[in-house]
Amino acid sequence: MRFLIATALMVALLATVGAESAKAVSQAGGISLQFPIGSRYNALGEAGTALSTDLSSIWWNLGGFAFAGDAGNDNGIHFMYSKLAAGLADDVSLNWLGYGHYIPGWGMVGVTLTYLDQGEQNATGEDGEDRGTFNAYQFAGSLAYGAKLANNVGAGISVKYFRDELAPDSVTQDQDSGSGSTWGVDMGVHYRPVNVLALGLSVTNIGPDITFVDADQSDPLPFTLRLGAAWEAWRTPLTSVTIITDYLISLVQDDETKVLGVGVEWGYVESLFVRGGRKADPEGDIEDWTWGFGVDLQRWTKQAVSFDYANVPQASGLDSVDRFSLTFDF
């Protein structure tokens, strides 16, 4: 049964890539769905499609999620926090929480919650009068499933609900257009042709437009195709070196947006990690370095707890932002 489900997911993924590749529409909404999750992968040039096999793989590649239980822990929790407008608006932040559970004979199941706090906004009337303040936010919740087709192949799928609270209806001109919602689907495949090499393919945010009042006032979800590779170039009992790359194509813009990320991770006794990378996003006006580090405390505490930090660039002229992740497996 697990094999049949995973095979069906792979067929659906390949069919979706073919069907959506010709699609190009107006500016996408759902910005909270586009920020990479997991400080480890943010530090590696914002690349993780082939490397991520922990809970953050629910965001990166659900094929990798099929391997999340391989470490021997049946349950896991991952939390990430990041300010998004450092130096401009300190009350704008991204928060992500994920939980995963391994079911013997079936695979991994998980749930996630994404919350983008857009901070306090000022409301003004048609004549410029002050109408007080309000808080804008976006949130998304998802249910995920990942299973192995074979020891070296995994596939997965998730279904999400997304809501954008731009403003309370009471402060909008028509009293009825301050929020919009939709649903979407993500799918992915993870493949390890040899032990030191992993390949990943994922498509995310497949679904209807985010509708605020009617079809004429809507934004498409940020449909994205990702291809990735991860190579463990060096390993000894003390140290390891992993090289990773991602290529992203967004097909929900007037023109295709293409982003390249590359990164290198150096590990010491599988506990201390130093990371660096480079992100090239011409459309987003980003061409800069990423960096970070991680600490896995299991060697000393006998408990699977890890902390990761990343420093990532924004568009030219804006300060870089810090991202923090905490993972706990049990």
Domain annotation for the chain: domains and CATH numbers:
2-329 (2.40.160.60)
pLDDT at 240: 98
Mean pLDDT of the chain: 87
- Min mean pLDDT across 61-70, 113-122, 208-217, 256-265 is at 208-217
pLDDT at 72: 82
- Say what the pTM is: 0.88
Separation of alpha carbons 49 and 189, rounded Å: 9
Separation of alpha carbons 304 and 78, rounded Å: 12
* Phi–psi pair at 158, nearest 5 degrees: -140, 155
Radius of gyration of the CA atoms of the chain, in A: 20
* Phi–psi pair at 224, nearest 5 degrees: -140, 135
Is pLDDT above 70 for 173?
A: no
- Please, which pLDDT band fits residue 26 given cuts at 50, 70 and 90? very low
Sequence-distant (≥ 6) Cβ neighbours of residue 136 within 8 angstroms? 118, 119, 121, 165, 166, 167
Residue in the block written with tokens 């002229």:
317
Q: Sign of dihedral through CA atoms 56, 57, 61, 62?
A: negative
Output DSSP code: residue 280: E
pLDDT at 211: 81
- Please, which pLDDT band fits residue 127 given cuts at 50, 70 and 90? low
- Three-state DSSP at 20 gives helix
